[in-house]
Homo-oligomer: A and B are copies of this chain.
């Protein structure tokens, strides 16, 4: 077991590497030629433009030595922006994501103080480990263990202190969670209420429109909603199966990139026309003149694209049984989204439409019956992925040994047989399969979620996050505690009695504290510090900049601001919550490490969100219920483990009092769910009515139909819309049904706020205007 000294060394190493990352970042971010890597958000907002400094060198390298002295100044900068401005700047999703780290601090700062004030002295003032190790020389222990619950003698009355602390920690966590849920629910509602007009406020996604022999889907939708929502229906937007077209556009873009690359190459060295191969990845096939080849290919694709667009416009089979139906009022949309339309609950399914940029177009055509089959498939697949993922990896590992390689590529044999390379391959290969798998895992999980058929990116991310959380919980947390692969554990657990589960984990938990401390430092501290450096985007940006960029617009496209990547980062935070809550009572020594993680990560991600990330969509913190339920799960897991641990310690008179704790916690969760979750799932009619009334008063001559007309068209059509009208738009001529009135009663309308959403005037104002 690691001693305090070992941990100190590990901490020093990790602090140094984190520090190195920070210093590297501090230097790199000051260089003008990296400006677009470290401040893309500002470029995208149009506030920042290319730095212009004197001298050729000054364009690329920052020569102002003073700025290097203040290399940590980004930290206070990151904290400066107040939260409302942050919401305006980066959206509510990002602001609430940061609050997860803050929540970690809120929960664990008091717990740490209390644990060090009460539990550490209680644990320290025993000599169980000393006396036991003197009895049997085999038992080793470290000073860390002396601070932990292991140092309390069997059936001691001191366990009452741990029991009490478990209650206090639980109540504190629940209290903070409750407050946070309340704050975030109200933030979300305020955000939604103060938002500007957005198409999704008026729009409902209708899925599984039943086929009709007499009417086209467009007519059917129109008639259905004119009959069943006569006072509210406004218009609808059909959805076309443009997946093939989207692929073509993608391919053309890729070709254009290559064309740019070769043209640039030719410009720099005009003596020789660039040559390329037409086969797989440019590795094989016959050689051709690259510029001519790509020019002709692009021309061909352009023609095909136009044909495809034409086909989509004419072929009614490519209209999917899905539509975005818009209503005259938010009230009408809120009603339609929350109600069932027909007897048969599998057709005319209505739900709130996601934001236009949040829509995942490919999944819109999946029929309802497929969905249940797909979910079952993925559930089974996920189970096998979590519990048996080691099997294929072990298989690949068994293949990827020296002999295997020699068999496949015999001509490499002399090279491989050299002892240095041989030992390198032997040491390196077995690990690499696992590493590749772990790197690919979030992508695999996202593909699984996509297969399940969710229709919005935000839902996809949330679903992938849940899967990743389960994977981490089983394979990192339980897997580290109980030795062996997850499959072996499963086998062990099945053959143990129910009450043995928590006991097995309970016994192992205190022994694994030092391992998890190291884990927090490596994965948490250094990982977070690495995040700020953005090594991968940095390299890719410079490669693109060198090979592809010709115009300012190209440079714009070469920027990759990235986003938070909720699907992989949130589950990782949850692991720290779990560790913190589990070890709070058992080994409080772990808590400060968790605190440092939360503090550092908060700083880093706040900086990144302000300066770098550009969210693809805005879900108005729709992920919070998932975050909440996972912290509650961590709480229950920690209680069950403590129960098992105390059971092995024969603390018979205190243990039974722990039973109430999980019951109360689960009940707390149910209470929170019924109280706050509707704010994330439903859209209250009162709010809708209020916004409608306001809008009618403020903008009585609004052309809503025109506003909504092309809000929900496939992005492939949107891109070309500017220059040619190949997109099949239906009834623009109907637009001028709405006659704009010239009423000039805008006296009381408040000045639009400078933020994203105009703050709503008070109800009194509205009443005054109405009278």
**Interfacial residues, chain A to chain B (CB-CB below 8 A):** 189, 227-229, 231, 334-335, 338-343, 345-346, 348, 372, 376, 380, 493-500, 663, 667, 670-671, 674-679, 682-687, 689
Contacts and interface: CB of A to CB of B under 8 A. Distances in A.
19 contacts: A227-B686, A335-B339, A339-B682, A340-B678, A340-B685, A341-B684, A343-B687, A345-B674, A345-B675, A345-B677, A345-B679, A346-B674, A346-B675, A372-B667, A372-B670, A372-B671, A372-B674, A494-B498, A498-B498
Given A228-B686, A494-B498, A340 B341 contact: no
A345 B678 contact: yes
Contacts of A677: 345
A617 B392 CA distance: 60
Contacts of A496: 497-498
Contacts of A372: 667, 670-671, 674
A339 B334 contact: yes
Nearest to A678: B345
A339 B685 contact: yes
Nearest to A190: B343
Contact of A667 (B376, B675, B682, B689): B376
Contacts of A334: 339
A587 B497 CA distance: 30
Nearest to A676: B345
Nearest to A368: B674
A689 B228 contact: yes
Contacts of A689: 227-228
Say what secondary structure dominates the interface of chain A: helix
A343 B678 CA distance: 8
A414 to B, nearest CB: 49
Contacts of A231: 231
A40 B689 CA distance: 53
B499 A341 contact: no
B675 A343 contact: no
Nearest to A224: B686
A338 B341 contact: no
Contacts of A227: 686, 689
A335 B228 CA distance: 12
A346 B348 CA distance: 30
Nearest to A683: B340
Given A334-B339, A345-B676, 17 more contacts: A228-B686, A231-B231, A339-B685, A340-B678, A340-B683, A340-B685, A341-B684, A342-B685, A343-B684, A345-B679, A345-B682, A346-B674, A372-B667, A376-B667, A494-B497, A494-B499, A497-B497
Nearest to A231: B231
A343 B192 CA distance: 11
Contacts of A339: 334-335, 338-339, 682, 684-685
A667 B689 CA distance: 40
A228 B763 CA distance: 14
A243 B118 CA distance: 53
A687 B372 CA distance: 26
A684 B342 contact: yes
A338 to B, nearest CB: 5
Contacts of A670: 372
A637 B81 CA distance: 59
Contacts of A335: 335, 339
Contact of A497 (B338, B500, B667): B500
Contacts of A494: 497-499
A321 B418 CA distance: 86
A684 B676 CA distance: 27
A663 B340 CA distance: 29
Nearest to A675: B346
Nearest to A193: B343
A233 to B, nearest CB: 12
Contacts of A495: 497-499
A441 to B, nearest CB: 24
Nearest to A336: B685
B498 A679 contact: no
A685 B670 CA distance: 30
Contacts of A682: 339-340, 345
A685 B341 contact: yes
Contacts of A380: 663
Contacts of A499: 494-495
A686 B497 contact: no
A271 to B, nearest CB: 68
A516 to B, nearest CB: 28
Given A227-B689, A345-B679, A684 B497 contact: no
A495 B227 CA distance: 62
Looking at A372, A495, A679, the one whose CB has the most chain B CB atoms below 10 A away is A372
A341 B498 contact: no
Contacts of A493: 498
Given A494-B497, A495-B497, A342 B686 contact: yes
Contacts of A674: 345-346, 372
Looking at A339, A495, A676, A684, the one whose CB has the most chain B CB atoms below 10 A away is A339
B340 A684 contact: yes
A338 B338 CA distance: 7
A198 B372 CA distance: 37
A760 to B, nearest CB: 13
Contacts of A189: 343
Contacts of A671: 372
Contact of A343 (B228, B376, B679): B679
A677 B687 CA distance: 30
A396 to B, nearest CB: 26
A679 B676 CA distance: 27
Nearest to A185: B343
A228 B690 CA distance: 9
Contacts of A229: 685
A498 B499 CA distance: 10
Contact of A341 (B346, B500, B675, B686): B686
Looking at A227, A495, A671, A685, the one whose CB has the most chain B CB atoms below 10 A away is A685
A671 B368 CA distance: 10
Nearest to A498: B494
A494 B189 CA distance: 46
Nearest to A335: B335
Contacts of A341: 684-686
A684 B380 CA distance: 34
A686 to B, nearest CB: 5
**When A and B form their complex, which 3 residue pairs have the shortest distance between CB atoms, in order from nearest?**
A345-B678, A340-B682, A497-B497
A660 B190 CA distance: 48
Nearest to A189: B343
Contacts of A346: 674-675
